[in-house]
Structure 1
Amino acid sequence: MFMSSSSSSRLGWHYDVFLSFRGEDTRKNFTDHLYTALQNAGIHTFRDDNELPKGEEISSHLLLAIQESLISIVVFSKGYASSTWCLDELAKILDCRQTARQIVLPVFFDIDPSDVRKQNGSFAEAFDRHEERFKEEMEKVQKWRTALMEAGKLSGFDLHSIANGHESKLIQMIVEEVLSKLNPRYMKVATYPVGIDSQVKDIISMLCVGTNEVRIVGIYGMPGIGKTTIAKAVFNQIYDQFEVSRCLSNIRERLDQHKGLLQLQQLLRDAFTGFIRLHDDIGDDDEGIKLIKREFFLKRVLVILDDVDQLEHLRGLAGERDWFGPGSRIVITTRDERLLARLEVEKKYHAKGLNNDESLQLFSWHAFKKPHPMKEYVELSEVVVDYVGGVPLALEVLGSNLFERSITHWRSFIEKLQKHLPHQIQGQLITSLDDLDGEVKGMFLDIACFFNGMDKDYVRKILDGRGFYPEMGFDILRERSLLTVNIENE
């Protein structure tokens, strides 16, 4: 996956992460699991019982390890403040944050951040003992207090408020955050990436990474089905196998802006920073194409082009395979299957909705911050999930809207849902309808309102009688993932 030790060394850091924790509290459970997860992700991590050369003084090596780490993760537990060793580490970490711009990520394992910040609870008891013991060194005690106050104000990870007590979920979130800090190319996928693993595996298989041909794979499907999430997850798993990699998100939206295509061409070319000397900004579309061809044709590149809806725009970013070096891979996400056919991509992948179990799990993560609904909300949750039909965006939006709401609120919300979709969902779906011409849009509305689930041949006769061209309309709606016909011709 991500081999960070080499990149950290080039920047002058020996370690990616320094782990500060109180061994008696977390060494054999949470911190051990976190350390293993960081190492498995290719993150070079220091912890004092694993990295110190035998026979040498521990304190000097600890101080050096902190100085040589790009990120410090501080695991605050109830007993953290009782250890003067931990407090000295923390003071040094906060000093490095000021002098060397070290990144500090606090983890509040079994304690409230306000207890750290204000030295309440077990922290207050610990400082009563410190003040008694270090009567002659109150400067040191005050330094510890200042360090705790500063650390308690930092944005971090609270086991109970963020992950609802699930340690494995908290560890996953920490690893993702560290990866994003270590390498800006790493893409944030989703807070709860439910049901995407098999789809990511299928697409990576289609890409055939390692072979020398230039290969283009398209992912298509309706809005909100998870195309972008899947593409980002694919990017994270394979980007380190390419010399240059770039993900251009929200292309359709960006192209509506002034000089949108030029800006996208510039972003794509900027991926080359560090390989060649860059010149002036791109003047026009044709110049952008020439520069992309000139700078990429000898390099093995990975490019994600997300949410493309116009072939001419696509041709301004990845028009021909010979723009890119041997072994390059281009991944395109779109709502329009026809666009991929016109581009003659090697493989097309239809993004799938979640099954019922996955849908309930994703909805529950957003509604309850855990993988299953609370007992008294199970039936209501199933009603919402059945209504949504496996669309991740809708599950996330509806779950978030219902988080920490009463059962009475849930019932009113579900009743309203039958008439009005939340604007976050409707805004995504309406763009697909706006892209249709008047006749096809009329066909879609007729089918949605009157003929959903009916025999296709019967519907075709009715629409034909109304002066539509139904077969052409059916094809367009299928290509835009707005219509499906099952094996029973419904």
Structure 2
Amino acid sequence: MAAASSSAPIHYKYDVFLSFRGEDTRYSFTAHLYEALRQAGIATFRDDDEIREGQELKPEIERSITESRASIIVFSENFANSRWCLDELWLILRQKRKGCHLVFPVFYKVDPSDVRNQRGSFTIKAKDGAEGLKWTQDNVKRWKAALSEVADFKGMVVSGYEPAFIRHVVEKVYFELGLKLHRTPTGLTGIETRAEVINSWLRYEQPGSPVLAISGMGGSGKTTLAKHIYYSNKQNFESSSFLEEIQNQPDGLLGVQKKLLIDISGNNNLMISNTFEGALQIEKTIHMNRVLIVVDDIDDKDKLSLLFGTKEFHTQSKIIITTRLLNIDTWFDSIAWRCHVFKMELLNCHESLELLCCHAFGSKIPMEGFKELAVKLAQYCGGNPLALKVLGSSLSNTAQDHWTRNDMIDVWRSRIDSLNSLEGDLDNKIQNVLEKSFKSLPCDSHKEMFLHIACLFVGEYASHVERILENDYHAKSGMVILINRCLISLSRNGLRLTMHKLLQDMTRKIVRNESKDPAKQSRVWRYDESYRLLRKGDGSERIEGLALNMLKFSEGRRSEAFRTSSLVKMKNLKFLHLSGVKLIGSYENFPELRWLRWHGFNLNIIPQGLLMRTLVAIDMSYGKLTKFEMPMV
């Protein structure tokens, strides 16, 4: 979700212009300061290119100074050796004289009196030869005046623990610019109420409870909440670090450890050669200092152990983890740390509609003529913030013209129809986020079981499904894993399997992507596709599950009968769900089913070929059956 815009007047592009000598501090102090400003939400301009000898001061530098509310000038040993730094200083002070620009001098390993009196490395004088074209008497005179003037400002001398000093600089900038300590991103609803519990935990000082996990399905707002908590509370800790996308770091886990150590220790020169050394250094730093760490999107216990080690120790530090796992608290039992699990609540109906409207209409309420459609779309999203944002933005409409608005209403209706179909027509942005949970499942059997549940078993009794799938997919352990990864859940009474609509659509899209031809897909749940397969006899060995409800068709079609040979072709069919279907023909060589539900069965006796020993569950309700014989085992 987008970060909030600055509270500065609209003509300002930046809050802060950062002036520094690249060769002195670009990859050390200034890099850390810039990152701290950026993470705190302070819009900061930093020139990322080294200005080389013979180059003129770039026009965008002067423009950026005038477009900034304030400047931070980092004076370091070689600052006065650069005419570009001196020119920046002069331009900054010129902007200050206009009465609309704040200046924050920072003295890094230099004495402010040397700056004021141009002593030591701050001695400057006119030069001869080619350099004399720029180092003229006039330029040197105005540069000296600028150095003397800025040194008289109330500046900050770097001393002590560097991360703590940088935090002090950030806080001072916030205060002087009149910014809020934390800017909540725009377009968020319900975040403050969800943050209350975690903020309370952060204030809890008991050493044995240093870890909290924010758990929930993909797109539920875990990362957004973690960032809100982080930026709201980081100033209360000695140092802090926000680690994201640790799975995709080019230097692997060792690179993640180095970034974490730099953030929380302030030492840019730490040398660690392997992850074991890194874990020891991290343990030591967390133990000795009060730090705040957020690890975003982790579901690997080994990576967590390598980051923080497995040694038991007491600490006043706080660690927040975002994960799709509900049982992550068990990971910490071995080191006697208590991990609190905060289950991410999805948005309620009011919050969902508000968030959708923010992205679709730029307001908290629907545009005239869109209310009913907006409510339907919000209901489809099921409280998932990512889906509300993506779908709202994709249907964005602020047009006031009557005809344009009518056209957009038709577009909304079309999109809602496609989403509510059984095709699994999910937006790719949403699909990619949700699919991470599916891809992270440890075993192929778990993935196959999940696909079966999503396509055929949502709403069924969990105990029944467990028995049906146990022999093929080890369902007793597999369903625990699916629940812990927020992929499936149980109904309020704990009896039936439930699944978020978006996860079900994500799963069905995976199946549909197997082939454009339903006959070559592993599961067929759309009744119109199942009807065509049976009518034409187009079944294949690829199909493992099929559902067909003829009661959903018109009266004229309901009496139509299909030949059993269409199903015989589906040699790997395990799960068959029929309602009001009439079959004629031989049941010899019929697929070896695990589950058969045939409501409205049209015969008095079950044919022998249909009662095979592989059946685990059979349901022949609401039919003409008068005699039932158990299959031979």
Please classify the TM superposition score into its range, dividing by the shorter chain length.
0.5 to 0.7
User: TM-score if structure 2 supplies the norm length?
Assistant: 0.47
TM-score, with normalisation over the residues of structure 1? Answer: 0.60
Greater relative CO (CA pairs within 8 A, separation 6+): 1
Amino acid at match of 1:432: S
Corresponding residue of 1:163: none
Q: Paired residue for 1:461?
A: 467
What displacement does 1:18 show?
8.6
Which of 440, 445, 451 does residue 446 from structure 2 map onto?
A: 440
Equivalent in the alignment of 2:116 = none
Match of 1:268 in 2: 260
Match of 1:388 among 378, 381, 389: 381
Instruction: Tell me what 1:258 maps to.
Output: 250
Indicate the residue corresponding to 1:149 in structure 2: none
Please say if 1:416 is aligned against 2:413. Answer: no
Matching residue's letter, 1:444: F
* Match among 180, 200, 203 for residue 195 of structure 2: 200
**Could you report, residue by residue, the CA deviation over 1:117-156 in whole angstroms, capped at 9, with x for unpaired residues?**
xxxxxxxxxxxxxxxxxxxxxxxxxxxxxxxxxxxxxxxx
Distance 2:475 2:460 in 1: 14
Judge conservation of contact 2:210–2:315 (CA < 8 Å) in 1. no
- Taking the aligned partners of 1:319 and 1:261, their CA distance within structure 2 comes to 13
Shift of residue 461 of structure 1? 3.0
The corresponding residue for 1:401 is 394
Q: Give the number of aligned pairs.
A: 331
Q: Per-residue deviation at 1:202? A: 1.5
Q: What is the RMSD of the two structures over their aligned residues, measured on CA atoms? A: 3.7
* In structure 2, C-alpha distance between the alignment counterparts of 1:183 and 1:322, rounded to whole Å: 43
> What secondary structure is seen at the aligned counterpart in 2 of 1:384?
helix
Cα distance 1:217–1:427, how it changes in 2: closer, same or farther (>3 A)?
A: same
Retained in 2: the 8 A contact 1:305–1:333? yes
Look up the SS of the partner of 1:372 in the other structure: coil
SS of residue in 2 equivalent to 1:191:
coil
Contact 1:18 1:71 in 2 (8 A): no
Q: Which of the numbers 304, 310, 313 marks the counterpart of 2:300?
A: 310
How has the CA–CA distance of structure 1 residues 375 and 209 changed in structure 2, closer, same or farther, with 3 Å as cutoff?
same
Q: What is aligned with 1:378?
A: 371
Give 1:462 deviation, angstroms. Answer: 2.4
Do the aligned partners of 2:241 and 2:294 also contact (CA within 8 Å) in 1?
yes
Question: Are 2:230 and 1:235 equivalent residues in the alignment?
Answer: yes
How far is the alpha carbon of 1:189 from its aligned partner?
5.6
Identity %: 32
Q: Which has the higher helix share?
A: 1
Choose which of 315, 326, 336 in structure 1 pairs with 2:325.
Answer: 336
CA separation of 1:428 and 1:273: change in aligned 2, threshold 3 A: same
* Counterpart-to-counterpart distance in 1, 2:431 and 2:174: 33
Which secondary structure does the structure 2 equivalent of 1:194 belong to? coil
**Structure 1 249/95 Cα, relative in aligned 2: closer, same or farther at 3 Å?**
farther
The range that moved more, 452-461 or 420-429, is 452-461
Match of residue 361 from structure 2: 368
In 2: Cα distance, 1:287 partner to 1:182 partner: 42
Which runs of 5 or more structure 1 residues have no equivalent in the other structure? 1-15, 22-40, 44-65, 73-90, 103-177
Counterpart of 1:70? Answer: 70
Q: Does 1:297 align with 2:287?
A: yes
Match of 2:490 in 1: 485
Whether the 8 Å CA contact 1:364–1:399 is kept in 2: the answer is yes
Which whole-Å deviations, capped at 9, do the CAs of 1:40-70 have from their partners, x for residues lacking one?
Answer: x9x9xxxxxxxxxxxxxxxxxxxxxx9x973
After superposition, the Cα gap between the structure-2 partners of 1:371 and 1:99, relative to the gap in structure 1 and judged at 3 Å, is: closer
Which residue does the alignment assign to 2:46?
none
1:367-409 deviation per Cα after TM superposition (whole angstroms, max 9, x unaligned): 1111111130111111111111111111000000010271122
Q: What does the per-residue CA deviation read over 1:202-253, in whole Å, with 9 as the maximum and x for residues that have no partner?
A: 222334433444511111111101111111122233222211111112223x
1:451 maps onto 2:457 in alignment: yes
Q: 1:322, CA displacement in angstroms?
A: 5.2
**Per-residue deviation, 1:100:** 6.0
How much does 1:259 deviate? 2.1
Matched position secondary structure for 1:218? strand
Distance (Å, rounded) in 2 between the aligned partners of 1:17 and 1:431: 36
Aligned equivalent of 2:477:
472
For residues 418 and 210 of structure 2, the distance between their equivalents in structure 1, rounded to whole angstroms, comes to 47
In structure 2, the CA distance between the partners of 1:210 and 1:94, relative to structure 1 (3 Å rule), is farther
Shift of 1:288: 1.3
> What letter corresponds to residue 309 of structure 1 in structure 2?
D
- The Cα shift of 1:487 comes to 2.6
